[in-house]
C-alpha cells in the first residue's frame, strides 16, 4: 500500500502580513510563514472578550488532578492490555511519525514490552501529564480543493505526531465514544463519524422528510452551517514545525487546538456542536443563534424560519389578543411587519346562505341564494375579504378560514370554479401580500369566535350585501335535481 503523496509546494508563495501582500521566494521563508499562519489560526486573539473571560474562569476553577482522583466512573478505570491489543490491530498506517517508531515496530514487540508501554499509558492516564515529545507535531501543508496554490491561506495543516501518543489517543477515544453512545449524550439528529449514524443515513432521512413534506404540500427548509475555523479548546499540542520540501521551520508555539488528523478531534468536534440548539427554548433565540454580522444562515433561510416559528404563532393567536388595548398590541410591532387579519365563515339554512369576514371591530355580511353551497359561500367571503384588503393601505393581509376545501381550491393553477379563478387573478396583480391560514372550526369555537353566528345572521340581516349570482357547479347541481 502506498502512502499519501504530498503535492510539491511552489517555490514562490504569497502571504498577507499586516494587510500587506508579501512575496516569499525561499523555502525557509515559506516554511516559517506557514508556521506563523497556522499559529495565528490558533491564537487567543481569535476569541472575543466574553469568551476569554469565561475560559479563564473555567480554567481557574477546574483541577484535572482532583477530578481524576475523585471520579471513579467506569471510563476512568485503568487502561487494559485488551484495549491496547484491540486498537493496535486497527493501526494500519505505515507512517512512523516524527520519532521514527512505526506501528509495525510496536506490533512486533513482545507481550512483556507491551505491558511496559501499558504501564506508561496508565501513569499518563492517572496524572494527566503527557511527555514533552508528545506535545510536538510536524505539520505538512496540504492544498485545499480548488484553491490557488500560490497563496498560503489555500493550505490546511496535517500533523504528524508520535505513534505511541496516537495509540494512546485511540484507546482513550474508544472509551470516550463508548461512554457518549451508551449514555445517550448525543442527540439522535447528530450524524457523521458515528456508527449507524453516517452522513448517508442523514441524507436518507432528509430525503424521506422532503418527500413527506411534498406529499402534504408543505415546504421543507434546511439551514446549513459552515465553520470556516473551529478550535477545540485543548492543550495537547504546544509546538509545531512546518515541513516544506524537506526544510523545517523553527519551533512555533500553538496556543489552542488539536492537531489536524488527530483521532480524538472528530469526537470532540461532535461534542462541541452537539448542544448547539439545546439551550434554545424560544424560536426567537433560534434566529439569534443562526444570524450574526459575520457568519450564520442566509437571509432567505432566516426568513423561512421566521415565518415558520414566529409569524405563524403570532398570526394564529391574534384572535386571543385582538381584544387587548392598542398600546398592548403595539408591543408586537417590532416583532413582525404590521398586517391586517381577516377571519371568514359561512352558514346555510332553509332561508338561504350567508357569509362574513371580520377584521378587528370591522365586519361585512353577505347574503346568497338558497341554492348556494357552503363551499361557494366560503369562497365568496374569501374573495370579498381580498377586495377589502386591497382597498386599504396595508402591506400584508392574512385570511383565516375553517374551510379547507375553499383554501385548497386556491392551490390549483386552473381552479374548477369561477370565483377561485377570479381570486387568483386578483392576487396576481396586487402589490400587497395575501396569505391564507386554515384553522379547524373546533379551535375557533374553543377560542370564542362568533364567525358562525354572524354568518347565520347574514342570511336575514338588513346589513348584508346581497349577492344573487350562482356558480356553474351550483346551477349544475340544481339542474341534476330537477332532472331526477
pLDDT winner (highest mean) among 45-54, 106-115, 298-307, 324-333: 106-115
Burial 291-319 (b: 16+ CB within 10 A, else e): beeeebbeeebbebbbeeebbeeebeebb
Q: Each residue of 295-308: pLDDT tens digit? A: 555 656 665 666 66
Mean pLDDT of 66-78: 70
* pLDDT top residue among 464 and 95: 464
- Burial class of residue 225, CB neighbours in 10 A (0-12, 13-18, 19+): exposed
Grid coordinates standing for 399?
A: 385570511
pLDDT of residue 484: 59
pLDDT digits (tens, 9 = 90+) for 115-139: 999 999 999 988 888 888 888 888 8
Query: Is residue 348 a contact partner of residue 377, using CB atoms and an 8 Å limit?
Result: yes
Q: Is the pLDDT of residue 289 over 80?
A: no
Lowest mean per-residue pLDDT among 64-78, 168-182, 224-238: 224-238
Tell me what pLDDT residue 447 has: 43
Task: Report, in angstroms and rounded to the nearest whole number, the Rg of the chain calculated over CA atoms.
Answer: 34
Note the pLDDT of residue 175. Answer: 92
The confidence band for 174, taking pLDDT boundaries of 50, 70 and 90, is very high
Query: Please, what is the average pLDDT of the chain?
Result: 77
Can you tell me the distance from the alpha carbon of 260 to that of 178, in angstroms, rounded to the nearest whole number?
23
- What confidence tens digit (pLDDT) does each residue in 357-409 have? 887 667 888 888 888 888 888 888 899 888 888 877 677 788 888 888 888 88
Q: Which H or E element spans position 74? A: none
How far apart are alpha carbons 332 and 348 in whole angstroms?
37
- Joined together, the cell numbers standing for residue 142 give 496540504
pLDDT at 324: 65
Amino acid at each position: 500500500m502506498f502512502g499519501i503523496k504530498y503535492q510539491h509546494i511552489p517555490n514562490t508563495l504569497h502571504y498577507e502580513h499586516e494587510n500587506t501582500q508579501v512575496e516569499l521566494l525561499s523555502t525557509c521563508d515559506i516554511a516559517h510563514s506557514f508556521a506563523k499562519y497556522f499559529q495565528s489560526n490558533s491564537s487567543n486573539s481569535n476569541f472575543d472578550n466574553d469568551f476569554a473571560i469565561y475560559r479563564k474562569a473555567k480554567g481557574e476553577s477546574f483541577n484535572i488532578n482532583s477530578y481524576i482522583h475523585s471520579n471513579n466512573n467506569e471510563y476512568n478505570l485503568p487502561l487494559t492490555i485488551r484495549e491496547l491489543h484491540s486498537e493496535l490491530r486497527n493501526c494500519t498506517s505505515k507512517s512512523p511519525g516524527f520519532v521514527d517508531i512505526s506501528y509495525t515496530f510496536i506490533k512486533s514487540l513482545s507481550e512483556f514490552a507491551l505491558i511496559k508501554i501499558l504501564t506508561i499509558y496508565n501513569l499518563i492516564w492517572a496524572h494527566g501529564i503527557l511527555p514533552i515529545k508528545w506535545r510536538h507535531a510536524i505539520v505538512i501543508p496540504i492544498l485545499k480543493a480548488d484553491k490557488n496554490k500560490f497563496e498560503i491561506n489555500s493550505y490546511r495543516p496535517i500533523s504528524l505526531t508520535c505513534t505511541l501518543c496516537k495509540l494512546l489517543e485511540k484507546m482513550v477515544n474508544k472509551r470516550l465514544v463508548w461512554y457518549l453512545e451508551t449514555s445517550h449524550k448525543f442527540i439522535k439528529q447528530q450524524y457523521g463519524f458515528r456508527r449507524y449514524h453516517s452522513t448517508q443515513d442523514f441524507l436518507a432521512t432528509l430525503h424521506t422528510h422532503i418527500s413527506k413534506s411534498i406529499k402534504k404540500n408543505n415546504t421543507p427548509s434546511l439551514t446549513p452551517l459552515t465553520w470556516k475555523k473551529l478550535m477545540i479548546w485543548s492543550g495537547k499540542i504546544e509546538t509545531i514545525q512546518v515541513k516544506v520540501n524537506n526544510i523545517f521551520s523553527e519551533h512555533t508555539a500553538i496556543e489552542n487546538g488539536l492537531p489536524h488528523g488527530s483521532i480524538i478531534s472528530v469526537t470532540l468536534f461532535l461534542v462541541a456542536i452537539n448542544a448547539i440548539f439545546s439551550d434554545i427554548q424560544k424560536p426567537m433565540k433560534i434566529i439569534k443563534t443562526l444570524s450574526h454580522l459575520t457568519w450564520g444562515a442566509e437571509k432567505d433561510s432566516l426568513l423561512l424560519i421566521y415565518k415558520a416559528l414566529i409569524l405563524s404563532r403570532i398570526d394564529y393567536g391574534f384572535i386571543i389578543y385582538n381584544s387587548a388595548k392598542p398600546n398592548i398590541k403595539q408591543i408586537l410591532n417590532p416583532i413582525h411587519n404590521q398586517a391586517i387579519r381577516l377571519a371568514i365563515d359561512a352558514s346555510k339554512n332553509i332561508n338561504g346562505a350567508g357569509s362574513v369576514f371580520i377584521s378587528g371591530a370591522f365586519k361585512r355580511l353577505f347574503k346568497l341564494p338558497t341554492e348556494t353551497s357552503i363551499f361557494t359561500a366560503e369562497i365568496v367571503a374569501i374573495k370579498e375579504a381580498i377586495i377589502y384588503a386591497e382597498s386599504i393601505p396595508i402591506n400584508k393581509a392574512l385570511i383565516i378560514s375553517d374551510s379547507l376545501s375553499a383554501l385548497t381550491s386556491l392551490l390549483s393553477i386552473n381552479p374548477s370554479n369561477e370565483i377561485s379563478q377570479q381570486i387568483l387573478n386578483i392576487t396576481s396583480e396586487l402589490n400587497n401580500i395575501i396569505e391564507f391560514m386554515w384553522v379547524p372550526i373546533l379551535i375557533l369555537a374553543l377560542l370564542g369566535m362568533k364567525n358562525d353566528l354572524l354568518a347565520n345572521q347574514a342570511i336575514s340581516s338588513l346589513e348584508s350585501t346581497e349577492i344573487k349570482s350562482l356558480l356553474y357547479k351550483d346551477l349544475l347541481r340544481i339542474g341534476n335535481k330537477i332532472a331526477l
